[in-house]
Structure 1
Amino acid sequence: MKILYIIFVLDIFFSFLESVTSFRLPISPFSQYVTFFGRENSLNDIAFNGVITYPTGFHWNPNNLATTLAIIFPFFLIIKKHISKYMVLSVIFLIIVSTSSRANMISVVIIFLIYLIWYKKRLFLKLCPLFLLLLILINFQPLKVDNIYINSFYDSINSIKEDFNNSNEINSISVRKQLIEDAIAIFIETKGIGIGGGGTKAIDGSLGTGAALHNFWLEILVESGIVFFLIFVFWYLTVMIKLYIVAKNSKNTLLINYSTSCLLSLIGFIFGAVSVSSAIYLLPMWILFGFSIATINNFEREKKERLYQYENISTN
C-alpha cells in the first residue's frame, strides 16, 4: 500500500500540473514527444492557454485518468489527517473536472455522500443545505464567471441534462447513446451468446467500425454473453457484500479502513466504468479487484486466528 500511495501521489501531482499549467508528461497525447512512444499526438485538438488542458497523468487518456482517480478517491478519504486529506481530495476533484469526465464527477460525489452518511451523519445533515444549494445552482446556472474550472463543471452537468433530451445534436453523449443502441442490437442478434473478447471493436453500426463502447458493463454483456455477465455481476456484488461485512465485523483498524475504501471504490466504479473506452486494460481496476479479494482473505485469516486463540484459552 505504501508503494501504491507513492505512485498515485506522483500521478496526482503530475496530473495537477497538467491541469493548471501547460506542462505535459511525454506520454500525454497533448505532448509533442508522445510520438516517441508510438502514439499520435493531439496537439491540434486543444488550445494551450496555460490554465486548463485535459490532464492525462500516467494513463495516456483523460477518461482513464479520471476513472483511476475515482478508484483511489476513497483511499484518501479514510486518511485521519483532515487538512491534508481534504487538500488531496479537492485536488483530485479539480483534476476530474479538468478532464470533463461526467461519469467520474458523479462517481466521486456519490462516494463522498455515502462516506458522510456512513461515518459522518451529523456533518452530512449540516451539509444538506449546501447540497440543496448546489442542486439549485446546477439547474439554474448563474452568470458565467471568469473561472474555467467552474465553467467546465457547469458545461459537463448541463451536457448531461441537455444531450439526453436532444438526440439530433452530435456530441459525446449522443455518440455514446448510438453506440449503446448498436451494441444492444448486436446482443439481440446473437441471442445473448456474445461476440467474443474485443468483438465490440468490430461492430459496424451507424457510427462505423472500430468505435469503443465507453461502457464496461455493456462491453462485458455484448462480448461475453448474458451467462458470463450475470456471473460477473454476482461476483462483483458478492465482493461488495463481503467487504461490508469486513468493515462492520473486523477488529483490525487497518482492515476496516481498507475494506471501507475498497467498498466505496467499487460503488464509485459502477459509474466510472462507463467513462473509459475499455476498462479491460485499466490496471488500477485490476489492482482494486485484487486488493479487495486480499482484504477479504485477510479478514478470514483474522477470524481463524481469533477462533484459534479462543479455543486455546478455553482449553487452558
Structure 2
Amino acid sequence: MSAGLRYIYYIFELSYLIFLATYYLNSKKLFFLFSKIITIIYVVQVFLGFLEVIAGFHLPQSGAFVYDTMTSAFQPTGLLFNTNDYAFFLVIFFPLVFWRLTYLRKPYRLISLSVISACATYLVISTYSRLGLLIFGIALLAVLITYSRIWSVFIGAWSTLIVTSLLLFSPALFSKIQDIVVASFTEKGASTSDRMERYNTLWQITKDTNLLGVGAGNAPIKLEQYRIGHAQVQETILAPHNFWLEVITDGGFFGIFPILFFIILLGMSLYYAFVIQKETDKLFLMMPILIIITFIIAAVALSTVVDKRYLWIAIGMAVAAVNITINQRKEHSK
C-alpha cells in the first residue's frame, strides 16, 4: 500500500509539472525568461561538477558517499544523487541552454557556446554513463548542424583548438578522458548482465499477471521477491532500471496505454510543428525533439524516472515549445 501511494503521488506530481510548464510557458517571451533560469542552474551544476572532478568535493547528499567504487570519489553528481542522474540532467537541458546562449551578443556568443559544450562533454564523460555519452554526442552534433553551418565551423575550430591544446600542454588529461571512455563501454559487463536479468524477471511478472499488472509502485517489490523469495524483513525497493517495463509490470496494458497515447500525440504535434515551421529559429524546434529522445533513453538508463522531477520539467518545456510554434503559425496565418 505504501509503495502504491508513493507511486500515485509521483504520477500526480509529474503530471502537474508538465501541466504547469505547458500552461504558463505559453509565449516565446516567457519561455525565454524561464530558459534563463534553467541556464543559470545548468552553469551551477557544471561548476559543482568540476569541483567534484578536480577536488573530490561533494555535497552531503551526494551518492559518492554511498557508492564505494574506485572512481566514485571523483565522479560528478552536482545537486543530484548519483552520476547517471547528473549525466542526463546535463544532456536533456543541453539543447535548451545552447539555444538560450545563441541570443547572447556576438563577442560572447562563440565563447560561451564553445565553453559550455566543452565543459558539458568532459563532465558527461566523467560520469562513466554510456548511454548518457552516446545521446550527448547525438545532441551536440544535432544542435551544431541545426544552428548554422558557418557557426558550426567556428565552434568546431574552437573545439579543435581546445583538444589540440590538451594534447600539447596536458597529454595526461587527454589520456584520462580516453581511458574513461574506454572503461565506460568495456568494463560494465556485470552491470549489463544484471539489468538484462531484471528485464527478463519484470517481463515474467507481467506474463504471470496476464498483462494486468501487480499494482502501482509494486513492480520493484515483486522484482525483489522473484529474486530472493517472499521472506523479507521490510519492503525492499529494487530499481527496475527500465521505466517502460516498470509501467507495464505495475499497471499492465491499461498502465502503459496513457503514456503511449501521450507520446504518440506529442510526436504527431511535433511533426505538425516541424512541417509548418517557417521561422529561421530552427534550433527552437530541434530542442523538443532532442529532449524527447533523451527522455526515452533516460527511461532505460536511469534506475527509475518517476521521481526525477527535472526530466518531467524538460518534457513540459518540450510540449510548451511545440505549442508555441503551432500557435505562432496560426496567428501569422490569420
Q: Give the TM-score band, short-chain normalised.
A: 0.7 to 0.9
Q: Indicate which of 183, 186, 201 corresponds to 2:202.
A: 183
TM-score by length of 1: 0.74
Once the two structures are TM-superposed, the CA of residue 62 in structure 1 deviates from its matched residue by: 1.1
Distance 1:298 1:288 in 2: 15
Query: What is residue 297 of structure 1 aligned with on the other side?
Result: 323
Aligned to 2:29: none
Q: In 2, distance between residues paired with 1:272 and 1:195? A: 24
Alpha-carbon offset, residue 178 of structure 1: 0.9
Offset of residue 10 of structure 1: 0.8
CA distance in 2, matches of 1:235, 1:12: 32
Residue 87 of structure 2 is aligned to residue 71 of structure 1: no
Cross-structure match for 1:226: 253
Secondary structure of residue in 2 paired with 1:185 = helix
Residue of structure 1 equivalent to 2:78: 57
Aligned-residue sequence identity (percent) comes to 27
Cα offset, 1:26, TM superposition: 2.6
Deviates more, 1:93-102 or 1:109-118: 109-118
The structure whose RCO (Cα within 8 Å, separation 6+) is larger is: 2
2:226 is matched with 205
> 85-94 or 145-154, which moves further after superposition?
145-154
Q: CA deviation at 1:250?
A: 3.6
What pairs up with 1:1-316 in 2 under 5 angstroms? 1-30=35-64, 41-42=65-66, 45-46=68-69, 53-78=74-99, 79-80=101-102, 81-115=109-143, 147-159=175-187, 163=189, 171-202=190-221, 203=223, 204-206=225-227, 210-251=237-278, 256-308=282-334
The CA distance in 1 between the partners of 2:251 and 2:284, in whole Å, is 31
**Greater share of residues in helix:** 2
**Structure 1: gaps of 5 or more residues:** 31-40, 128-143, 164-170, 309-316
Distance in 1 (alpha carbons) for counterparts of 2:94 and 2:200 = 32
CA positional deviation for 1:159: 3.7
Q: Once the two structures are superposed, what CA deviation does each residue of 1:57-79 show, in whole Å capped at 9, x if it has no partner?
A: 11111111111111112223434
In structure 2, do the counterparts of structure 1 residues 185 and 95 end up closer, same or farther at CA, with 3 Å as the change threshold?
same
Q: CA deviation at 1:87?
A: 2.0
Question: Which amino acid is 1:27 matched to?
Answer: Q
- The CA RMSD over aligned residues, in Å, is 3.0
Give the match's secondary structure for 2:300. coil
Deviation of 1:301 after TM superposition, in Å, equals: 2.9
The question of whether the paired residues in 1 share the 8 Å contact of 2:52 and 2:58 is answered with yes
TM-superposition CA deviations, 1:107-146 (whole Å, max 9, x none)? 112323444565667979xx9xxxxxxxxxxxxxxxx998
Residue 20 of structure 1 deviates from its aligned partner by: 2.3
Deviation digits for residues 187-222 of structure 1 (CA, Å, limit 9, x no counterpart): 111111122221122022336753201112222222
- Separation in 1 of the partners of 2:140 and 2:228? 36
* More divergent stretch after superposition (201-210 vs 56-65): 201-210
Change (3 A) 1:26 1:179: same
Do the aligned partners of 1:243 and 1:260 also contact (CA within 8 Å) in 2? Answer: no
Shift of 1:184: 0.7
AA aligned opposite 1:229: I
Q: Distance in 1 between matches of 2:259 and 2:302?
A: 19
Calculate the TM-score normalised by the size of structure 2: 0.70
CA distance in 2, matches of 1:90, 1:248: 32
